[in-house]
Amino acid sequence: MEIKFKFIGMMKALVEGKSELTLDLTEHCTVADALLTLGIDYKTTKQFNFAVVNGKKEDPQYVLQPTDDVKIFPRSFGG
């Protein structure tokens, strides 16, 4: 199944500056699995904060569906 991912802010740096990518994934693939295919381990990557799927914040273990719209957000930094 093909899922479109949008990378917000600093997350783009982890995917060669791209803001969008379409991944061909297997059934029962989670957000975490999809990120791992890109070399991003959400547990150890300091930039990763959360994923939004179809407008709702979801756990990285969320199982993706063919019509999902996924946005990956970075941690906020500032002062």
CATH code linked to domain 2-74: 3.10.20.30
40-56 tens-digit pLDDT: 999 998 899 999 999 99
6-34 tens-digit pLDDT: 999 999 999 999 999 999 999 999 999 99
Q: CA–CA separation, 30 vs 47, rounded Å?
A: 19
pLDDT bin (cut points 50, 70, 90) of residue 78 is low
Taking alpha carbons only, the member of 38, 33, 5, 34 closest to residue 21 is 5
Q: What pairing do the DSSP bridges indicate for beta strands 69-74 and 2-7?
A: parallel
Asked whether the beta carbons of 32 and 42 are under 8 A apart, the reply is: yes
